[in-house]
Structure 1
């Protein structure tokens, strides 16, 4: 079991033993107060999260007197009256049922009798506590006044000073400083002004002339800032030089925003002494079981106090700043979303972006036909011997060149328009195809393979061997060179590719086809022409172009 756990168990055992002793031995804590003052009584066996029941005397059925009420587990005397003199009992409302009894002794003077006695060695600087933790916890206290023997403190030499939470610092105590000291605090509560008072008896111990006290020194911390995560455990270290030997007169303790660490349930303290080259060092560790916001950005002080002097080390806890991490995550997320958006936009507007890029490229480029080829496309279609083939011929000989050549500056080779009678057909087709950057094959629903239906037929051409040959040459070049040089154009409706050669089916599966429909008020074929231009090569700079 860890040392901190032993400390907690020991504290719980002592608290329980303390309560039981009070229940059976008859010895109870006595608080001396003055009539007319405000007084707050805290149940010592309960913490901030425990419900308690208060009653007067040892009998549970005795109600509290007028002017005494319970607020947040504390017993408030608003204000103390002479009739409030007597005993009061608090009981924990849990399975333990522990009870504790207190005695309240009311006097008529302004300064009540002392509730405890403190000893200070002669010549030592020391602090006397105001012992009114609950009052200072209200954060609306006014003036804190200290009185000696119920008169304002007046002393020879260095005067007293009042520190945080009402501590009175008494420099270089002497025999004349012995006496009864009373801490009075003025407070405003619910529009009414009250005064609270607690007294302490101070006695001065004679100092051994042979004793020499060394001045302590805090080596760490020195105004440090420690970055922590809220909700986690943290250990704070304080290293101090104590002198040449360990002595009972030198103490180390912590405060958190002026509150003693012993008064905070989340804190525990451990101390370790080490010796190095005849010097004694003390390492005090303040453990915070769970960092809460109330511990952030408040002064946390480590004190080392000896009869010779007192030194203070200061540190603050600061919550870790995750803004840089959040910014990085936000930027990464924004970059990812932007990339996805750009990818989606490019996918949707790829055709338009490529066409715009080509147009801009032509505006700055002076290069003419860099590959040395004469034509941008070879147009292959079925000669007109049926109604369907007549439609293909009209598209190939008139509509296609009107848009691609006249409007966009492409150079097409259309067999039946650009070939010369008497030429060696196969040689001309082969040579011309190799001078073209694309092969446009126009298909219709009547297109069939040469072996369709078990009969030998000329593919796609109705005995026109030239068409069969030019498609075979063009498809062979496209497949062997692994270049998407073939553009399939369907007119007159969908084409049944199962009736066509495997090479055409492969081109269809790999890159798809373009569908041209007869123009109508509902169909302008605008997307068809944009996609056809996208599959066509870029028009070299310098050619005549007309913008649609």
Structure 2
């Protein structure tokens, strides 16, 4: 069995396959023909199941570049598709001709790769790897042989007797049928540094280099040249261009150089082709690296392809947009109070709420305890709040004790008035939680026996929890407070939305304390209040 792959997709186990954008054909006598029997296209790869003498010939794969960035190319037609051409030579023997050459130094330990990972990756549990030497079962007198899980053959203490053609045979099962795949390597064993060995190309094999037009580029070619330097070794580059473009290409500086590199496994040659200015005529044309000596010749292929930065630009744009969105969201969260207030001030017509038939913007609820009737709580509710919200910002407040009618049914009036208000401001204060009695400090429950305040809170909280109307604004004065004395509804609302903090000392002394500034308190209170209806006259504006 044999597999032809169009380009580099799927070249390793786990890599993506070529997909449906690949078309295979067979050329015979300058005619394009269909695929012969015994072949099958699977995920863009051409499978020979099994190889037959009739499969000898030239095969071409054509692949669209819409989805894939190619690293192995041959030519590009007018439709923007890529083509690769393969020459398949079928031998009648069990072992194919060597696909590569390897040189081991005598007495060393080294590895021969099977290089059939596409086959081993299909079914490792049933695949069986067997190595042959000169197409006969592998045997070594006094030598150690080891084959690892990837099918690689390890030779310890290589000797001259180990030289020959090694074939990696893989027997495996596919779709219920038993198949055999084979690949051969020519192995040389040398200990004489003066022996000239056939060159073995390391890279490029058939690679693509992404370049920018007008920029410089350096192409590199690496080949194993034997055990020592020899004057008979040569490395050079050939650029294939149409004849009518010869003069144009000649104006491009192609500076080539090569050097020897000494490593444990011998001597390598590294050739560098320097291009001072990449022009369009150099794109998508074959550039050959040729390595030769008196024994043999090796050739590598490179292509220059214009770099596509669309994906990079898209990623940068998405990243910047995402970063900007995060900054805006974070800024909007931390500065939401100032933004909303600025919006209401700059666009009063747009910020106006839809008419809802409500008479008051807020109902102010606080505890009326005779012993603390002159406390800061009453002062705040009856004087400070109206001074700022009503006179400076045009809000309409209902404050019981100031706006209720004498002689009216209190519970009925409270129920009706709360439902005519857009907000319910509940003021909680530490000075109504405790008082001195006979020299002993006792705790008063927030739900006092004079329970008109408790009733108005119950009505407002019931509507707020069931209908979210009116919305509740909690104000805590001179905390911390003992929240265990609050009703379950108040504790729930405070847990969900928190409470605004008012510091009487800060207001009286006109200086900041450890508590939040009262200037910020007024911003937050106005933020939680509805927009001021248009047409209301203000006494002063700040």
The TM-score range, normalised by the shorter chain, is 0.3 to 0.5
Relative to the length of structure 2, the TM-score reads 0.46
